[in-house]
């Protein structure tokens, strides 16, 4: 049974130090955002002095650059500078391990993307610690990567067996006043590719969580899809506002953008709730999944759907919660679970400015009860 | 509207300052979405249960200002922009904040998954409240923690003032056994948790934390175990956080940590150079000038505010200790927010005014003595308390 929890950078160092000849694989994907190089800087600092500690770790860095098929654009120039900075930082200092850089044409089929990564991992019998900085990894590729890592943990994937996974996300310091990215296309389930209305078909009970941190259009579209569902008390709809403790100003801006839903949603029986940290969001989603599980245990045909709009760590948490739920109940037609997202996006500005804290998810492919304490 | 009204249609908006509103500034400052959000948040969680919509209350406050004297139109506009920048915290948000803080306590402090921790949290922690007001009860209810009123789990010592009483009882032969027993149960806990609803100036929480550290030090000197102190703040400002850091640095103590849910950095204070509440510099200047004028005309003549003014060390023009906040929660408006938000003149005042978020004061009158402070001074000066604890 897989399990996700909030970790920290120091525990990664302890893992490496505590493993004899630890094989460490780090995947970075710098793009045009300043924060996309932040994890690299922090990791270099984290690994300083590992050799002096008597650790005999073997560190492999994979840097991939997603490159559009069309003519180069201005954003490519900023991205190129960031990639060069990362590569130079890794090759400049003392022992940094092996560094591989790969340019990957984008958009790319997720299966091909995983194949490219698997090629770069070839020759490694196993990975003791995989570290993925997903700050600038597109959601569809990130989802595929997470699934592959889960499969590889049980020797079913293309990657070497992965023992521990840390997923890193560098939060932006702030966001420009210019227009943010726009999500494109219909909102559909990541696993099923079905819209919410179809997912609701033949369900006796449903729990739908919608994070209102993305575009108002997506949140409203999902609420519209739920209108007139005819499920009465057998549907729980949760509109969750992410009030980031570290950036209240940005969160309040998102809240303002959703002011109409905040008024209308309670009138439609929607619970309007607030979460303050990624840990809180993860717990909230798990609590909702538990409601669904209870309904499933009572013999009802259920749906758990999470619209994880907003910061990417919420999307990662949502995917893991859905996977946990599916693993718990098996893939029968009685239990349906999916993560809802838009099909694509377009950038209207560099999107974010600066970098601040890093959120770390630790992913384990074991039962939570067997895990070591958090601290 | 009466058709024969000489002011024409919509007399509510006949005052000249409504004509002068600059639409471009209004758009740049996102006035519309800010005011609409306020309206909508109050639909499900109205301020102090009022049935008067927030826009109506804001309009009324602007009208009071208009009648208060010949003010520049820019000041009245500034008042509108200040009101639009209200950070309104509905009840459900504050309950969810306790949930987030509980998760931080379980996973961040105990290293335990929160559902498993639920069974043991009361045997691990003693809960104190900063300004006791039933926070422990809400915290336990929101997080499904059972047994709050079981004496063997949680002694009835809900605040530092009560803790002072129990420590002083050690010196009273008639009460010392009972006090020792209560304190022994409390220091046997691995964590003392201080629940704080709002720490804005930082004054109150620092005072409580200083006293808890003193009490913990007495326990340590008595050879008893030393609980870790964790402060859980629903709302914290960067200023209050600096005060906490300064205290820990000053006392050079370990085993102190704090967690917050809603965090107001400097950008949320209208008086701070980094403020982003009002972007237009001239409008911001007008807002500050308005606050100063307001203090001179309403606050300084009002003797009911003497005690608060004294403790604040200023004329309260930007709220208690110059915090300059625009924070309001569903139950009350803190004094750390700008007084034009919460001030209400005395009935029959020559120049009346009522802010959109009239405050219910928890302390009225002019008492200056601080009984709790005196108790802690006594405790610090009586080393026999250590001996009494040791017995």
Instruction: Mark whether A285 and A323 lie in a shared domain.
Output: yes
Task: Read off the CATH number of the domain in which A214 is found.
Answer: 3.40.50
Give the whole-angstrom CA distance, residue B391 versus residue B385. Answer: 10
Rounded to two decimals, the ipTM of the complex is 0.92
What does the pLDDT read at residue A3? 78
Helix axes A248-257, B31-44, angle to 10 degrees: 80
What does the pLDDT read at residue A370? 45
B347 within some domain: no
Per CB-CB distance under 8 Å, the chain A contacts of B92 are 272-274
For A38, residues 6+ apart whose C-beta sits below 8 A from its C-beta are: A135, A170, A355, A358
Instruction: Mark whether A96 and A120 lie in a shared domain.
Output: yes
- Among A262, A280, A375, select the one facing B40 at the smallest CB separation: A262
pLDDT digits (tens, 9 = 90+) for B3-17: 577 878 888 999 989
Residue B185 host element (H or E): helix B176-187
User: Which residue is closest to A271 within chain B, CA to CA?
Assistant: B92
Distance (Å) from the alpha carbon of A370 to chain B's nearest alpha carbon: 12
Residue B127 host element (H or E): strand B125-129
For residue B266, pLDDT over 70 is answered with yes
Instruction: Mark whether B231 and B109 lie in a shared domain.
Output: yes
Instruction: Mark whether B242 and B314 lie in a shared domain.
Output: no
- Among B261, B268, B276, select the one facing A245 at the smallest CB separation: B261
For residue A184, pLDDT over 70 is answered with no
Instruction: Mark whether B129 and B230 lie in a shared domain.
Output: yes
Instruction: Mark whether A152 and A191 lie in a shared domain.
Output: no
Instruction: Mark whether B122 and B221 lie in a shared domain.
Output: yes
For residue B85, pLDDT over 70 is answered with yes
Instruction: Mark whether B248 and B177 lie in a shared domain.
Output: yes
Per CB-CB distance under 8 Å, the chain A contacts of B268 are 248-249
Instruction: Mark whether A135 and A212 lie in a shared domain.
Output: no
For residue A312, pLDDT over 80 is answered with yes
B375 within some domain: no
B164 within some domain: yes
pLDDT digits (tens, 9 = 90+) for A26-41: 999 999 889 999 999 9
Instruction: Mark whether A138 and A234 lie in a shared domain.
Output: no
pLDDT digits (tens, 9 = 90+) for B96-129: 999 999 999 999 899 888 878 888 899 999 999 9
Domain of residue A149, residue span: 3-174+351-370
Interface test with B, best of A247, A248, A289, A372 (most B CBs within 10 A): A248
For residue A375, pLDDT over 50 is answered with no
pLDDT digits (tens, 9 = 90+) for A256-294: 988 888 888 888 889 999 999 999 999 999 999 999 999
Sign, Cα dihedral of B335, B341, B345, B350: positive
Instruction: Mark whether B141 and B243 lie in a shared domain.
Output: yes
Percent of chain B residues past pLDDT 90, beyond the cut: 80
Percent of chain A residues past pLDDT 90, beyond the cut: 47
Distance (Å) from the alpha carbon of A290 to chain B's nearest alpha carbon: 12
Instruction: Mark whether A129 and A25 lie in a shared domain.
Output: yes
pLDDT digits (tens, 9 = 90+) for A49-95: 777 766 678 899 999 999 887 777 888 888 999 999 998 888 866 55
Report the number of distinct structural domains present in chain A.
2
What average pLDDT does range A135-142 have in this prediction? 89
Give the whole-angstrom CA distance, residue B48 versus residue B344. Answer: 15
pLDDT digits (tens, 9 = 90+) for B210-262: 999 999 999 999 999 899 999 999 999 999 999 999 999 999 999 999 999 99
CA distances from B262 to A249, B89, B312, B380 (A): 11, 9, 24, 34
Instruction: Mark whether A141 and A215 lie in a shared domain.
Output: no
For residue A185, pLDDT over 70 is answered with no
For residue A369, pLDDT over 60 is answered with no
A118 within some domain: yes
Interface test with B, best of A256, A261, A268, A353 (most B CBs within 10 A): A256
Model confidence at B361, pLDDT cuts 50, 70, 90, reads confident
When the pLDDT of each residue in chain B is averaged and rounded to a whole number, the result is: 92
A71 within some domain: yes
Tell me the count of A-B CB pairs closer than 8 A: 83
Interface test with A, best of B42, B53, B113 (most A CBs within 10 A): B113
Instruction: Mark whether A302 and A195 lie in a shared domain.
Output: yes
What does the pLDDT read at residue B1? 44
pLDDT digits (tens, 9 = 90+) for A315-345: 999 999 998 998 888 767 789 999 998 755 5
Question: What is the gyration radius of the CA atoms in chain B, in angstroms?
Answer: 24
Q: What are B206's two structure tokens?
A: 């620092």
In sequence order, what DSSP letters do the residues of B78-122 get, joined into one string?
HHHHHHHT-EEE-HHHHHHHHHHHHHIIIIIII---HHHHTTTHH
B257 within some domain: yes
B378 within some domain: no
Task: Read off the CATH number of the domain in which B228 is found.
Answer: 3.40.50
A375 within some domain: no
Contact A276 B111 (CB under 8 A): no
Per CB-CB distance under 8 Å, the chain B contacts of A357 are none
User: Which residue is closest to A6 within chain B, CA to CA?
Assistant: B107
Instruction: Mark whether B80 and B209 lie in a shared domain.
Output: no
Domain of residue B279, residue span: 16-85+270-342
- Among A257, A266, A279, select the one facing B103 at the smallest CB separation: A279
When the pLDDT of each residue in chain A is averaged and rounded to a whole number, the result is: 86
What does the pLDDT read at residue A367? 46
Report the number of distinct structural domains present in chain B.
2
Cis peptide before A107 (omega within 30 of 0): yes
What does the pLDDT read at residue A178? 56
What does the pLDDT read at residue B42? 93
User: Which residue is closest to B116 within chain A, CA to CA?
Assistant: A369
Interface test with B, best of A174, A216, A271, A280 (most B CBs within 10 A): A280
Instruction: Mark whether B226 and B201 lie in a shared domain.
Output: yes
Distance (Å) from the alpha carbon of B270 to chain A's nearest alpha carbon: 14
What does the pLDDT read at residue B210? 97
pLDDT digits (tens, 9 = 90+) for B272-318: 999 999 999 999 999 999 999 999 999 999 999 999 999 999 999 99
Contact B260 A245 (CB under 8 A): yes
Per CB-CB distance under 8 Å, the chain A contacts of B262 are 243, 245, 248, 276
- Among B40, B111, B262, select the one facing A373 at the smallest CB separation: B111
Instruction: Mark whether B207 and B321 lie in a shared domain.
Output: no
B351 within some domain: no
Distance (Å) from the alpha carbon of A70 to chain B's nearest alpha carbon: 36
Per CB-CB distance under 8 Å, the chain B contacts of A255 are 37
A333 within some domain: yes
B134 within some domain: yes
| B136 burial level (CB within 10 Å; 0-12, 13-18, 19+) | buried
Instruction: Mark whether A235 and A145 lie in a shared domain.
Output: no
Strand partners, A183: A345
What does the pLDDT read at residue A2? 64
Task: Read off the CATH number of the domain in which A11 is found.
Answer: 3.40.50.620
For residue B325, pLDDT over 70 is answered with yes
B224 within some domain: yes
pLDDT digits (tens, 9 = 90+) for B134-177: 899 999 999 999 877 777 777 889 999 999 999 999 999 999 99
Instruction: Mark whether A223 and A170 lie in a shared domain.
Output: no
């Amino acid at each position: 049974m897989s399990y996700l929890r909030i970790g920290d950078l120091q525990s990664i160092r302890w893992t490496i130090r505590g493993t004899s000849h630890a094989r460490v694989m780090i995947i970075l994907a710098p793009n045009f955002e300043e924060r996309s190089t932040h994890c690299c800087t922090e990791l270099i600092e984290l690994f300083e002095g590992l050799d002096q500690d008597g650790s005999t770790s073997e560190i492999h860095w994979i840097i991939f650059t997603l490159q559009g098929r069309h003519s180069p654009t201005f954003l490519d120039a900023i991205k190129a500078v960031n990639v060069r900075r990362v590569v130079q930082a890794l090759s400049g200092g003392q022992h940094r391990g092996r560094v591989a850089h790969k340019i990957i044409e984008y958009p790319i089929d997720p299966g091909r993307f995983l194949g490219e990564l698997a090629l770069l991992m070839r020759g490694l019998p196993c990975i003791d610690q995989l570290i993925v900085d997903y700050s600038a990894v597109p959601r569809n590729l990130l989802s595929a990567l997470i699934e592959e890592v889960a499969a590889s943990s049980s020797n079913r994937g293309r990657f070497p067996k992965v023992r521990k996974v840390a997923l890193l996300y560098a939060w932006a310091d702030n966001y420009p006043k210019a227009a943010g990215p726009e999500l494109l296309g219909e909102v559909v389930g990541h696993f099923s590719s079905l819209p919410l209305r179809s997912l609701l078909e033949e369900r006796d009970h449903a729990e739908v969580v919608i994070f209102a941190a993305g575009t108002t259009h997506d949140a409203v579209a999902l609420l519209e899809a739920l209108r007139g569902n005819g499920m009465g008390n057998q549907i729980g709809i949760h509109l969750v506002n992410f009030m980031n403790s570290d950036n209240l100003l940005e969160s309040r801006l998102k809240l303002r953008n959703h002011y109409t839903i905040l008024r209308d949603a309670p009138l439609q029986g929607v619970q309007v709730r607030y979460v303050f940290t990624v840990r809180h969001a993860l717990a909230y989603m798990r609590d909702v999944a538990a409601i669904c599980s209870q309904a499933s245990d009572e013999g009802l045909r259920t749906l758990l759907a999470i619209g994880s709009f907003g910061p990417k760590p919420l999307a990662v948490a949502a995917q893991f919660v859905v996977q946990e739920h599916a693993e718990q109940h098996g893939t029968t037609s009685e239990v349906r679970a999916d993560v809802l997202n838009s099909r694509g996006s377009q950038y209207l500005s560099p999107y974010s400015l600066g970098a601040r804290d890093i959120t770390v998810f630790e992913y384990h492919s074991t039962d939570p009860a067997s895990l070591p304490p958090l601290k | 509207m009466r058709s024969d009204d000489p002011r024409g249609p919509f007399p509510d908006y006949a005052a000249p300052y409504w004509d002068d509103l600059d639409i471009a500034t209004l758009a740049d400052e996102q006035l519309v979405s800010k005011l609409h959000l306020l309206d909508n948040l109050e639909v499900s969680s109205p301020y102090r249960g009022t049935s008067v919509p927030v826009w109506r209350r804001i309009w009324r406050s602007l009208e009071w200002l208009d009648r208060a004297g010949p003010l520049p139109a820019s000041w009245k506009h500034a008042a509108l922009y200040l009101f639009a920048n209200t950070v309104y915290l509905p009840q459900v948000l504050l309950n969810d904040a306790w949930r987030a803080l509980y998760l931080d306590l379980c996973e961040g402090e105990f290293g335990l998954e929160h559902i498993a921790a639920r069974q043991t949290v009361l045997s691990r922690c003693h809960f104190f409240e900063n300004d006791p007001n039933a926070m422990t009860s809400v915290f336990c209810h929101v997080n499904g923690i059972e047994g709050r009123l079981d004496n063997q789990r949680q002694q009835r010592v809900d605040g530092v003032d009560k803790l002072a009483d129990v420590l002083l009882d050690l010196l009273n032969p008639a009460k010392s056994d009972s006090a020792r027993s209560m304190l022994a149960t409390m220091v046997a806990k691995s964590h003392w948790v201080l629940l704080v609803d709002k720490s804005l100036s930082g004054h109150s929480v620092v005072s409580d934390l200083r006293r808890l550290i003193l009490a913990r030090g007495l326990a340590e000197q008595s050879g008893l175990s030393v609980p870790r102190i964790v402060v859980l703040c629903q709302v914290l400002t960067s200023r209050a956080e600096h005060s906490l850091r300064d205290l820990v640095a000053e006392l050079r103590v370990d085993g102190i940590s704090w967690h917050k849910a809603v965090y107001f950095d400097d950008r949320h204070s209208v008086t701070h150079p980094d403020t982003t509440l009002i972007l237009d510099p001239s409008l911001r200047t007008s807002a500050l000038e308005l606050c100063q004028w307001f203090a001179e005309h309403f606050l300084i003549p009002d003797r009911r505010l003497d005690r608060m003014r004294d403790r604040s060390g200023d004329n309260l023009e930007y709220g208690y200790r110059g915090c300059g906040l625009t924070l309001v929660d569903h139950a009350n408006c803190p004094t750390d927010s700008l007084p034009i938000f919460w001030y209400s003149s005395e009935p029959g005042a020559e120049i009346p005014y009522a802010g959109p978020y009239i405050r219910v004061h928890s302390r009225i009158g002019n008492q200056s003595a601080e009984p709790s402070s005196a108790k802690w001074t006594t405790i610090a000066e009586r080393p026999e308390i250590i001996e009494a604890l040791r017995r």
